[in-house]
């Protein structure tokens, strides 16, 4: 009797445990089934996203190739200003197509598109230059033109003659710009330089060989290139197409544009408004922050540039020297908020 009574609780406890286990089994199976279904759905969504991305990429490639061929044909047959203006309008549409597609395009495709656009822009500028009427040869006229150029490119109290770009300088990769569409400053030190809206409108701006200068560009240029600058501050209104930095160091740049490319540059802060992804290459110590420069008339310049002010990818940057997707590039960073408070004027 004692044996039976002592064993009964054991059997009873065993039955209770078995009953509890049986009650937990469906719950575990249900949880595993839910996890399996979630994984199936995740893989299905991933396949759908990939198919959509491939479809978008194919659509972009076809559309870009078609519009590019149309622009090239207009430039090849560009015997009139009207044809060139049509080419310029379609080229701007081509730039917008690329900007709207950067979120699903591979970095290589973005780079190829940007280089194609740069070549088309250079060809357009060359065509514009060819269509301009040639000036008659006259010593007096030449001296007069030189004097007026000095007034335009110079700044009161500065050695103006050193700041004149008398002829287009060679631009690597993006091509040469015609002199009539080019303006800017070169070979200056410790100067305050300015250009007004009427001087800049849809022109290509080149700033080169500058040191310890402050440059304010009020208006809407077509492109901006800053090369071989040291310890300079460049403040620029909205640029219709592209901004290029090359061989710069310890500079501060405030610019709004469709695309930004930074090459062989170090220790530079960029306050940026950009509608596509910025690109850095062979750089280090680059810091990005939102565009904050302001001046009277900037709203009108933004309207003329065609830039979408509500779209700013200032912190979406491609580093062509850094291929790891899951590890941030060490070559660029976000400028801390406490360091963004700058008194521009």
Rounded (10°) CA dihedral 224, 95, 275, 326: -100
Domain end position, chosen among 102, 131, 160: 131
The answer to whether residue 255 is domain-embedded is yes
The reply to whether 152 and 100 lie within a common domain is no
Cβ-contact 153, 163 below 8 angstroms: yes
- Quick one: 124 and 173 in the same domain? no
Domain that holds residue 114: 16-131
DSSP assignment letter at 134? P
Per-residue burial over 260-285, b if 16 or more Cβ lie within 10 Å, else e, is bbbbbbbebbbbbbbbbbbbbbebee
Q: Mean pLDDT over all residues of the chain?
A: 76
Judged on CB neighbours under 10 Å (0-12, 13-18, 19+), 287 is middle
* Residues 120 and 237 occupy one common structural domain: no
Measure CA of the first residue to CA of the last residue in the chain; give whole Å. 102
**What pLDDT was estimated at residue 113?**
83
* Residues 298 and 163 both lie in one domain: yes
79 and 158 part of one domain: no
Specify whether 49 is located in the same domain as 82: yes
Whether 311 and 193 share a structural domain: yes
Partners of 51 in beta bridges: none
Tell which residue, 93, 99, 85, 100, has the closest CA to residue 66: 93
In a domain, 71, yes or no: yes
Q: Is residue 215 part of a domain?
A: yes
Q: Residue 116 sits in a domain of what CATH number?
A: 1.20.58.1250
Q: Are residues 50 and 188 in the same domain?
A: no
Q: Are residues 200 and 163 in the same domain?
A: yes
Query: Is residue 65 in some structural domain?
Result: yes
The pLDDT of residue 203 is above 90? no
Nearest CA-CA partner of 316 in 295, 340, 338, 290: 290
Give the residue, 322 or 268, on which the prediction is more confident. 268
Is 137 within a domain? no
Using CB atoms within 10 A of its CB, is residue 249 exposed (0-12), middle (13-18) or buried (19+)? Answer: middle
Segment 103-158, tens digit of pLDDT: 667 777 777 888 888 888 888 888 877 776 554 444 444 444 433 333 334 333 33
Domain at 237, CATH number: 2.160.20.70
Number of domains forming the structure of the chain: 2
Instruction: Give yes or no for residue 47 having a pLDDT over 90.
Output: no
Last residue of a domain, one of 96, 131, 166: 131
> 259 — phi, psi (to 5°)?
-145, 150
- Indicate whether 259 and 282 sit together in one domain: yes
In a domain, 114, yes or no: yes
Whether residue 151 is found in the same domain as residue 250: yes
98, 131, 164 - which closes a domain: 131
Together in a domain, 269 and 328: yes
Check whether 310 has a pLDDT greater than 80.
Answer: yes
Residues 14-34: tens digit of each pLDDT: 444 455 555 556 777 777 777
Q: Using a pLDDT cut of 70, give the percent of the chain over it.
A: 73
Q: Is residue 10 part of a domain?
A: no
Per the domain annotation, does 266 fall within a domain?
Answer: yes
């Amino acid at each position: 009797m004692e044996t039976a009574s002592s064993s009964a609780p054991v059997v009873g406890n065993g039955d209770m445990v078995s009953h509890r286990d049986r009650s937990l089994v469906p719950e575990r199976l249900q949880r595993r089934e839910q996890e399996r279904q979630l994984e199936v759905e995740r893989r299905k969504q991933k396949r759908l996203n990939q198919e959509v991305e491939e479809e978008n990429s194919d659509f972009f490639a076809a559309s870009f190739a078609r519009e590019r061929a149309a622009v090239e044909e207009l430039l090849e047959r560009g015997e009139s200003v009207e044809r060139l203006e049509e080419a310029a309008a379609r080229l701007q549409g081509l730039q917008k197509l690329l900007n709207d597609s950067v979120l699903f395009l591979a970095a290589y495709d973005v780079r190829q598109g940007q280089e194609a656009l740069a070549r088309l822009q250079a060809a357009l500028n060359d065509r514009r230059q060819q269509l301009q009427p040639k000036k008659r040869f006259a010593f007096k006229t030449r001296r007069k033109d030189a004097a007026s150029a000095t007034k335009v490119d110079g700044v009161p109290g500065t050695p103006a003659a050193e700041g004149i770009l008398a002829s287009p300088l060679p631009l690597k990769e993006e091509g040469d710009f015609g002199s009539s569409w080019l303006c800017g400053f070169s070979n200056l030190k410790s100067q305050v330089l300015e250009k007004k809206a009427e001087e800049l409108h849809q022109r290509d701006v080149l700033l080169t060989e500058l040191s310890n200068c402050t440059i304010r560009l009020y208006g809407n240029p077509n492109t901006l290139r800053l090369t071989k600058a040291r310890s300079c501050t460049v403040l620029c209104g909205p640029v219709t197409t592209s901004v290029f930095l090359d061989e710069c160091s310890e500079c501060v740049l405030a610019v709004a544009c469709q695309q930004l490319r930074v090459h062989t540059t170090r220790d530079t802060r960029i306050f940026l408004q950009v509608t596509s992804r910025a690109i850095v290459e062979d750089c280090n110590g680059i810091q990005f922050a939102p565009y904050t420069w302001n001046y009277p008339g900037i709203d009108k310049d933004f309207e003329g540039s065609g830039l979408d002010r509500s779209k700013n990818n200032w912190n979406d940057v491609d580093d062509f020297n850094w291929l790891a997707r899951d590890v941030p590039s060490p070559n660029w960073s976000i400028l801390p908020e406490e360091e963004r408070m700058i008194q521009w004027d």
